[in-house]
Chain A
Amino acid sequence: MQAAYILWLRQVKKYYRSKSRVIGSLGQPLLFLLAFGFGFGSIYQKAENGNYLEFLAPGIILMSVLFTALFSGIEIIWDKQFGFLKETLVAPVPRINIMLGRTLGGATVATIQGAIVFLLAMLFGFRPQNISMVFIAFVFVFLAALLFTSVGTIIASKMDDMQGFQLIMNFLVMPTFFLSGALFPLSGLPPIMKTFIQFNPLTYAVDGVRGTLTNVFAFSPLTDFAVLAVVTCILLLLGSYFFEKIQA
Chain B
Amino acid sequence: MDNIIVVKDLVKKFKEVTAVNGISFEVPRGEVFAFLGPNGAGKSTTIKMLTTILDKTSGHITLNGFDPEKNREDVRKSFGIVFQDHSLDDDLTAYENMEFHAALYNVTTANNVRQHRIEEMMKFVELWDRKDSMVKTFSGGMKRRLEIARGLLHHPKILFLDEPTLGLDPQTRNHVWEYLKEINKNENMTIFFTTHYMEEAEKIADKISVIDHGDIIATGTAEDLKKQTSTETLEDAFLALTGKNIRENEATGLDGLRSDSKMWRRH
Asked if A90 contacts B52 (CB within 8 A), the reply is yes
B230 at the interface (CB under 8 A from A): no
Known: A81-B258, A82-B87, A87-B87. 17 other contacts (CB 8 A): A3-B106, A6-B100, A13-B96, A14-B92, A18-B266, A18-B267, A21-B266, A82-B90, A82-B265, A87-B88, A90-B51, A90-B52, A90-B81, A91-B104, A161-B253, A161-B256, A247-B55
Those of B75-131 within 8 Å (CB) of chain A: 76-77, 79, 81, 83, 85-92, 96, 99-101, 103-106
A14 with B91, Cβ < 8 A, contacts A82-B86, A90-B81, A247-B53 known: yes
User: B100, B104, B256: which has the most chain A beta carbons within 10 Å?
Assistant: B104
A2 at the interface (CB under 8 A from B): yes
Chain A residues closer than 8 Å to B171, beta-carbon distance? none
Chain A residues closer than 8 Å to B182, beta-carbon distance? none
A88 with B104, Cβ < 8 A, contacts A81-B254, A81-B258, A161-B254 known: yes
Range, interface on chain A: 20 to 34
Chain A residues closer than 8 Å to B96, beta-carbon distance? 13
A17 at the interface (CB under 8 A from B): yes
Asked if B264 contacts A87 (CB within 8 A), the reply is no
Chain A residues at the B interface, C-beta cutoff of 8 Å: 2-3, 5-6, 10, 13-14, 17-18, 20-21, 78, 80-84, 86-94, 160-163, 247-248
Chain A residues closer than 8 Å to B2, beta-carbon distance? none
B239 at the interface (CB under 8 A from A): no
Alpha-carbon separation in the docked complex, A84 to B92 (Å): 12
**Which of B53, B77, B104 contacts A86 (CB under 8 A)?**
B53
Q: Which chain A residue lies CB-closest to B263?
A: A162
